[in-house]
Amino acid sequence: STCRHGTAYSVIESHYSEILTETTYFVPLEQKFEYWRLKITNESQRRRELSIFSFCEFTNQWDTFQDRVNLQYSLFIVRGELTGENLLRIAIQDNLTPDTGGDFISDIARHCWMGMAEAPIDGFDTSREAFLGLYRGYHNPLVVESGRSTNSKAYGDNACGSLATSGSLQPGETREILILLGIGDAHTVGKRTFAEFGSLEQADAELEKLKTHWHAQLESLRVDTPDADLNHTINVWGLYNCLVNFAWSRSASLVYNGERDGLGFRDSVQDILGVAAAIPEPARERLELMLTGQLSNGGAMPIVRPFEHNPGHEEAPHPDEYRSDDCLWFFNALPAYVNETGDLDFYNKMLPYADRGEATVFDHLRRALDFNLERSGVNGLPCGLSADWNDTLRLGYHGESLFVAFQLRLGLATYAEIAERLGKPGQKSWALAEQKKLDASIQACAWDGEWFIWAIGEDGTVYGTQDSEEGQVYLNTQVWSVISEAATADQSARCMRTVHERLATPYGLMLCAPPVIKTSIDVMRAVVFNPGIKENAGIFNHTQGWGVMAACMLGDGDRAYEYYRASMPAAYNDRAELRQIEPYVQGQTTYSTYSPRGGNSRTSWLTGAAAWSYFSATQYILGIKPEVDGLRIDPCIPSSWNSFSAVRRFRNQSFHITVHNPHGVCKGVVRMLIDGEQAAGNLVPAGLPGKEHQVDVWLGP
C-alpha cells in the first residue's frame, strides 16, 4: 500500500492478489460532505468477481465526552436505515425535532448520510456489530469475509455505514465507484446533495476546484535553494501546515479529539505569523476577533469562542487565571499583518474590549503593555501569573518571568516604532522610558555570567543559575534575550554559545537542561513528564524558530541553518522510522537525547511550531521581510550556498529575487539592483510601477 497526501486530499493505493485499488479522499470546498473515489483495476489475466463494501463507524453522540464516557446514555440514541433514496440514514436522537432541511437539526439531534454512485447497491449495514460479527475486528469483518451484507438497521448500540456492490472485471479492466458521506438528514440534505454532486464528472470538477483554491494560497512565496527539502517545506508543506493550523487552531486532530471548543488566545495570535502573506484578509479578521478577546485591563480571555463571542459583554476571568504572555504576542502578529499589507490605518481602528468599552487597536496595544507593567514583581520583572508561555512553570502568582520580561521589552520597542509612524511622540517617549527601566531591572538580576536565568520564584528563589542542579539552562530566555535585543553584544554571544553547547542535539534545541527529576511539582509541573520529553528537557518544536531567529540576528547563518534542519520535518523523509510522525508537517514535541528514544516526535499538525518555523525560515534565513515601506531583502544563509532565488507576491506585485553569494558569506547585502537599476540599500520600495519586478542581491564581506 502507498498513501500520498496532497493539498486537502489524500490518495491510498493498494495492490492485493493482482487487484489494484486507488481511493481518493477529499472534502469539496464549502461543503459538508466528503468524496471517496474508488478506482479498481484487474491486473490479472482472468476475469475476477468482486464484492466491494464501504465502511465508516460513526460516533453515537457528537460530544466526545458523552460518546466515550456516558455509555448508559450514548448507546441508546442512534438509529440507522436505508432510505427510499438509496442513501444510508444515521440519526442521533431522532425523536427530538422534525427535519428542517438544514445540516444540523439542533445542538444534540444530528444526522449523517452515505450514498453510492456509479454502481448498484446490493446490500447495506448500519449496525457495527452486524458488520464485524461477534469477537471480530476490522481485520476480519464477518460481512466482508462472507461477501454478503446483512441489511442491519442500527437501533441503539453502535452505528456504522456500509454499502455493498458487486460485479466482474475483465483482464485489464478498470471500474470506478463513488461514495459520498455527509452531515444532515438523508431525506433532505443527503438527497439534495447527492443529486447535485453524485457523479464522477462532478467529483472531478470539485477536486480540481479544491486544488486550485489551495495552490493559489501557496503562491505567496516560491523558492529555489540548494536544499530540495527546504524548497518543498517552504513551497508547499510548511505553509500548508500553517494554513491548516490557522483553520483548526487546536480543536480537532488525531491528538486533540474535539473537546477544545474555541480558539486558545496565545496560540491563535501566534498562528497569524504563518499566514499573513498567504491570506491577509482572513488574518486581519482573526486579529480583530482576538483583539476583542482582550479585556479592558489589558489581559485576555484564555479561550475565545467565535460562535458565541459577545464583545463588550464577556465576563472577565478570575484574577488568578490570567496568563502573563497572552496579549504580548500581539506585538509579533499585528506588525506582521500591517507590514504585509501596508494598512497602517489598522492601528486606528476602533474595536471593543471583551468585557466593556472600546479603543483603537493602538490603544489595545498600550493596555497590553500596561497589564504587564502593572503586574511586576519586587525585582522589576513582569509577574508570571498563572503561567507564562511555559504552562508547566509554577512560580507563584507574583513570581517573575524573565521570558515575559523579554517579550515586554520587544513590545515596548515595537510600540515606540508604531507610535512614531502614527505621529504620537508622547507615546513613543513613554515606551522608551519604560524600556530603559526594564533594561536596568534585567541587567540587575537576570545575567548569571554565561547565560540568563530562567525565572524568579515568589519566594525569591532564582531558577536557572549555574548553581541549579536541574533546569540549569533554559532555551527561551537565551534566544529571547537576543530577539528582544535586551542582551548586550557580549551577552548575546555568550548565551548563544551556551545554547549550542548545552541544548543543541541532532534533532533540535532542548527547552532546558538538565531535566527536572527531584524538583518539586509545586514549582515545575514538567517533572510529570519523562526526562527528555516536552517541557522536561525535551525538544519543544514551538521554540525552534526562535533559536533560528536569534542565530540569524547574530549573523550566524551556518548555525541557524543547522538548527533549522535539525527540526525540519522534511529532513526526516528518508528516516521516517526515527521521527515516527508525518515527515512533512510539524510536531509539538520531539524526544531529546535525555530520553532513550531521541528523535521520536509526537502531536503533529496543530502546533505553534508551524508558524514560527515558516516565519523564521522565510524572514530570517531567506531574509525576505515585508515592511510598511516595502520589501526588505536581508538573508542570513549557510556560507556554502552560492545563490538562491525566490518569487514573492507582495501587495499585488510579483518580485523575482535572486541572491548571489560569490564570497561564501552568511550575511551582509553589499549591492542590490531593482529591474537593473542600482538601489540605495536593501529595501525594495512599495508601489513600484508595473506588476513584475526583478531584484538581484549580492552578499559580501
Q: Catalytic site residues? A: 391
Bridge partners, residue 692, by sequence: 654
Question: To which residue does cell 540549569 refer?
Answer: 472
Burial code (b: 16+ CB inside 10 Å, e: under 16) for 623-635 equals: bbbbebebbbbbb
Strand ranges across the sheet with 400-401: 400-401, 455-456, 462-463
Residue 452: DSSP 8-state: B
Bridge partners, residue 24, by sequence: 11, 37
DSSP secondary structure string, 182-194? EES-IIIIIHHHH
Amino acid at 175: R
- Residue 426, burial from CB neighbour count under 10 angstroms (0-12, 13-18, 19+): exposed
- Residue 136, burial from CB neighbour count under 10 angstroms (0-12, 13-18, 19+): middle
Residue partners of 696: CB distance under 8 A and separation at least 6:
657, 658, 660, 672, 673
DSSP secondary structure string, 110-124? EEEEEEEESS---EE
Quote the CA–CA distance of 212 and 191 in Å, as a whole number.
28
Quote the CA–CA distance of 271 and 266 in Å, as a whole number.
9
Q: How far is CA 245 from the centre of its chain?
A: 3
Torsion over CA of 333, 334, 339 and 343, rounded to 10 degrees? 150
Quote the CA–CA distance of 90 and 158 in Å, as a whole number.
11
Residue 78: count of CB within 10 angstroms of its CB? 24
Which strand (E) or helix (H) includes residue 37? strand 33-42
**Helix spans in 190-329 (H):** 191-197, 200-217, 228-232, 238-248, 265-275, 280-291
Quote the CA–CA distance of 607 and 255 in Å, as a whole number.
11
Q: How far is CA 220 from the centre of its chain?
A: 18
Give CA separation, 283 vs 161, 269, 337, 351, 476, in Å.
Answer: 38, 10, 7, 16, 26
Residue 618: DSSP 8-state: I
Q: How far is CA 379 from the centre of its chain?
A: 35
- Residue 49, burial from CB neighbour count under 10 angstroms (0-12, 13-18, 19+): exposed
Cβ proximity of 535 and 476 under 8 Å: no
- Quote the strand ranges of 106-158, DSSP E: 110-117, 123-127
Cβ proximity of 527 and 516 under 8 Å: yes
Strand ranges across the sheet with 539-540: 539-540, 587-590, 601-604
| Cα-only R_g, the chain | 28
- Quote the strand ranges of 231-389, DSSP E: 263-264, 303-304, 350-352, 358-360
Phi, psi of 117 (to 5 degrees): -115, 160
- Quote the strand ranges of 497-609, DSSP E: 504-505, 508-509, 512-513, 539-540, 587-590, 601-604
**Helix spans in 4-125 (H):** 64-68, 71-74
Quote the CA–CA distance of 224 and 240 in Å, as a whole number.
18
